[in-house]
Amino acid sequence: MLTQLKKELKEYSHLDKAKVYARFFKTGKGQYGEGDVFLGLTVPEQRILAKKYVGLPLADVKELLYSKYHEHRLTGLFILVYKFEKSDNSEREKIIDFYIKHRHRGNNWDLIDCIADKLLGKHLMDKDKSILYNLAKSESLWDRRIAIITTFEFIKNKKFDDTIKVSEILLNDKHDLIQKAVGWMLREMGKRDEKPLIKFLDKYYKIMPRTTLRYAIERLDDNKRKYYLKKN
């Protein structure tokens, strides 16, 4: 089954797109995606294949996650999401344990943004969330991004406390990918309820990185946006 999946992934590949993706995902020397290799598949194509091969054993998913090809890793992560959706509680625990153990193979922002809320977020909805705070304090850029993006699932269910607390931990993060992610989640919170966003901004806007602030206020009216930008 794994051999056939790899064959189909190769059949979907597009050399022209692979070159574009390599630039877009910053694979050059010293960049955050240094050395990553692309086949040139689109995300919808990978989702189709992931659903087709959702029955792939975790041992084979592991092989995908440790592949040099970006699309192998993303397809493997999509398979985990679809497995999780179809599984009972006992099997879900195994899937989450597997994901946590191998999460470092989600080593680019799309490998986190496409799955963290749908997998870890759904799992933690009514559980202890201390793992998020450990991830938020990690030296790993990708762990920190997992921490904040996971809270998107809570936001969609109008539970904002963890988004706010994780954002506070990451507020002074120097990395652009974290600043954008925090601002994005704050904006999503504000789309559902502007009050907690305004409360957060009033408390922190003077010290927030400008990138985070710009993302966070994107959906506010003109007067509010100008107010926070002027004072920042």
pLDDT digits (tens, 9 = 90+) for 50-96: 999 999 999 999 999 999 999 999 999 999 999 999 999 999 999 99
Q: Does the domain spanning 117-232 belong to CATH 3.40.50.720? A: no
- Looking at residues 24-49, what average pLDDT do you find? 93
Q: How confident is the model at residue 230 (pLDDT cuts 50, 70, 90)?
A: confident
Which CATH number does 1-114 carry? Answer: 1.25.10.90
Do 1-114 and 117-232 show the same overall fold? Answer: yes
Q: Considering the entire predicted model, what is its pTM?
A: 0.94
Does 189 score more than 90 pLDDT? yes
Residue 48 tokens read as 């189709």
CA distance 171 to 169: 6
Is pLDDT above 90 for 169?
A: yes
Q: Give me the residue spans of the domains in the chain.
A: 1-114, 117-232
Contact 112, 146 (CB under 8 A): yes
Per-residue confidence at 123, pLDDT binned at 50, 70, 90? very high
Tell me the per-residue pLDDT of 94-116, one tens digit each, with 9 for 90 and over.
Answer: 999 999 999 999 999 999 999 99
pLDDT for 33 equals 87
SS (H, E, C) 22-70: HHHCCCCCCCCCCCCECCCCCHHHHHHHHHHCCCCCHHHHHHHHCCCEH
